[in-house]
């Protein structure tokens, strides 16, 4: 199997893929971006570019304007350094030290058993290529590499007003080539905690580990409209049904790995009277068939299986009742579709993580909305539900949405450049303008710099936040061509208003 460097060495544009190879090689889990940031600082120093790290850990690199373009409006190029770290069950991969090992398949670069990190490593690689390429024509450039985007937008939240000088910003963190994004959802987290009361296994009972897996998972914002299965919600539903047929006791429930990823897998350890194995197997087979029918065309790979386990400690029966009832009742998925932006989800929620055992439990919800009051209202419903049971439910990590400005001069410039560069392609001469049901850092940065004109675009990425994430190689080259054209057009004017 070729090394990642060898694999990517034949791809074009080489200047971009060379930088992405570095992102595959250096671990960059959220809140663990220091090694990559230091590497990029040294790289910038080697090019003679000014680099600084702000108090939030964001990296800012400045490149002077091309000769004669000093009076052009300054452009901020923005991407985040961290990635969502997900792997399939049984995959041996330590995201704190192991490199990502992608492969090529039918024009796509893909990581089969882990996330690839094209979100947002490709965007960051495009920016680094811009900083390196001496042949580009551009005005004053500032590269803003934020941290902790995937775990709470911490870098953008900590960005201070006054650090950036540019009046225009290109965010390179969207995933559909040919589309310019002009608005995004805001959101917040709801974290639920509850202490436990352990109980002993009744005499003559056996423990069983029930696993629900085989779901597609995906991004909890951009994929939420597809109604993919949530392993946590589905397994809780199965547990509630099993309680109607068997004297089931719960020992643990674990599902999901990230707040912003749709849970692909979940496991519950339960206790049943000895000799219940055949009945359990029959019930699970029935539920597997039932859920596959419900998810037909979306998540037909769902699997339900059970195996004996050696657990001896259980949840208290009252705690079991509280947790299964509240998780069963908790909202997940699309709450409301936008009435003002056709085809876009307005408000949604993802039950992303559950960790529950005899000593207590925790779960996390990520709420999104194009309207800030909409996300607050749904989060308050979740808080109310869990507060009724005596659990502690707290809202945190609130970040604003990005209100679209259809009259953006930067958008007009971007669309003009796209039309000129790709107008000869069949069906490729006109771009589209969209709003995304996901959290881009544009809204937060825009709140710090309210006069900044912001547009987002990028190459085509599929399966972000899930194993099997892939990026279309051809679209990366097109994104590089477009970025260079936009910068040249912006450099040719003395103001953009």
Per-residue pLDDT reduced to its tens digit, 339-363: 888 889 999 999 999 999 999 999 9
Q: How confident is the model at residue 135 (pLDDT cuts 50, 70, 90)?
A: very high
Q: Assess whether pLDDT exceeds 70 at residue 495.
A: no
Which DSSP string corresponds to 410-428? HHHHHHHHHHHHHTTSTTT
Q: What is the mean pLDDT of the chain?
A: 95
CATH number given to 188-399: 3.30.70.360
Summarize pLDDT for 183-240 with one digit per residue, the tens. 999 999 999 999 999 999 999 999 999 999 999 999 999 999 999 999 999 999 999 9
- Which residue's structure tokens are 């109604």? 227
Asked whether residue 428 carries a pLDDT value surpassing 80, the answer given is: no
Intervals of CATH 3.40.630.10 along the chain = 4-185+402-491
3-state secondary structure of 485: helix
Are 476 and 16 in contact, with CB atoms under 8 Å apart? yes
Give pLDDT, residue 429: 66
Residues 154-193: pLDDT tens digits?
Answer: 999 999 999 999 999 999 999 999 999 999 999 999 999 9
Asked if residue 426 has pLDDT above 50, the reply is: no
Residues 6+ apart with CB under 8 A from 206: 271, 272, 273, 274, 276, 277, 308
What is the model's pLDDT at position 301? Answer: 95
Query: Alpha-carbon distance 265 to 424, whole Å?
Result: 45
Q: Where in the chain is the domain with CATH 3.30.70.360?
A: 188-399
- Residue of 374, 395, 396 lying closest to 386 (CA atoms): 395
In the sheet with 461-462, reading across from the earlier edge strand, the strands are 103-105, 108-110, 470-472, 461-462
The fold of 4-185+402-491 is Aminopeptidase (3.40.630)
The pLDDT score that the predictor gives to residue 439 is 87
Q: Catalytic residue positions? A: 82, 149
The share of the chain scoring above pLDDT 70, in percent, equals 98
Parallel/antiparallel/unpaired status of strands 168-171 and 75-80: parallel
Residues 276-280: contacts with CB under 8 Å, at least 24 apart = 276/206, 276/246, 277/206, 277/208, 277/306, 277/308, 279/245, 279/246, 280/208, 280/242, 280/246, 280/306
Q: What number of other Cβ atoms are within 10 A of residue 98's Cβ?
A: 12
Confidence of residue 496 (pLDDT cuts 50, 70, 90): low
Segment 333-337 shows an average pLDDT of 96
Q: Is 156 within 8 Å of 445 (Cβ atoms)?
A: yes
């Amino acid at each position: 199997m070729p090394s990642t460097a060898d694999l990517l060495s034949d791809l074009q544009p080489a200047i971009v893929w060379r930088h992405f190879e570095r992102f595959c090689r250096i671990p960059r889990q959220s809140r663990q971006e220091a090694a990559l940031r230091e590497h990029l600082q040294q790289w910038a120093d080697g090019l003679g570019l000014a680099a600084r790290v702000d108090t939030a850990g964001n990296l800012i690199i400045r490149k002077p304007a091309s000769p004669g373009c000093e009076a052009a409006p300054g452009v901020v190029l923005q991407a985040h350094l961290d990635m969502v770290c997900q792997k399939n069950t049984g995959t041996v991969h330590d995201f704190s030290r192991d490199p990502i090992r992608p492969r090529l398949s039918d024009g796509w670069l893909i990581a089969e058993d882990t996330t690839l990190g094209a979100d947002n490593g490709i965007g960051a690689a495009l920016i680094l290529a811009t900083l390196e390429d001496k042949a580009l024509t551009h005005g004053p450039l500032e590269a803003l590499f934020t941290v902790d985007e995937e775990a709470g937008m911490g870098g953008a939240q900590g960005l201070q007003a006054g650090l950036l000088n540019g009046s225009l910003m290109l965010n390179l963190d969207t995933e559909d080539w040919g589309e310019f994004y002009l608005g995004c959802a805001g959101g917040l987290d709801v974290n639920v905690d509850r202490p436990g009361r352990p109980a002993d296994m009744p005499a003559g009972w056996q423990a069983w580990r029930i696993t629900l897996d085989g779901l597609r998972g995906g991004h909890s914002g951009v994929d939420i409209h597809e109604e993919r299965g949530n392993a946590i919600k589905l397994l809780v539903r199965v547990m509630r049904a099993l309680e109607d047929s068997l004297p089931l006791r719960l020992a643990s429930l674990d599902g999901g790995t990230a707040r912003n990823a749709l849970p692909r897998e979940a496991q519950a350890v339960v206790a049943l009277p000895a000799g219940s194995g055949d009945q359990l197997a029959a019930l699970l087979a029935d539920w597997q068939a039932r859920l596959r029918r419900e998810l037909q065309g979306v998540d037909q790979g769902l699997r339900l299986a059970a195996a004996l386990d050696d657990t001896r400690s259980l949840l208290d029966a009252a705690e079991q009742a509280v947790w299964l009832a509240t998780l069963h009742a908790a909202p997940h998925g699309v709450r409301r579709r936008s009435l003002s932006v056709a085809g876009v989800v307005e408000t949604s929620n993802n039950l992303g993580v559950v960790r529950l055992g005899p000593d207590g439990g925790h779960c996390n919800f990520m709420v999104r909305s194009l309207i800030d009051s909409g996300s607050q209202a749904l989060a308050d419903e979740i808080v109310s539900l869990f507060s009724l049971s005596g659990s502690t439910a707290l809202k945190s990590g609130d970040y604003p949405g990005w209100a679209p400005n259809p009259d953006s001069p930067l958008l007009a410039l971007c669309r003009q450049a796209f039309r000129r560069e790709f107008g000869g392609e069949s069906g490729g001469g006109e771009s589209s303008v969209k709003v995304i049901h996901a959290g881009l850092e544009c809204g937060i940065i825009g709140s710090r710099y309210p006069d900044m004109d912001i547009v987002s675009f990028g190459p085509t990425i599929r399966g972000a936040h899930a194993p099997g994430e892939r990026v279309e190689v051809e679209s990366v080259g097109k994104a590089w061509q477009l970025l260079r054209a936009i910068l040249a057009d912006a450099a040719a004017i003395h103001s953009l208003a």
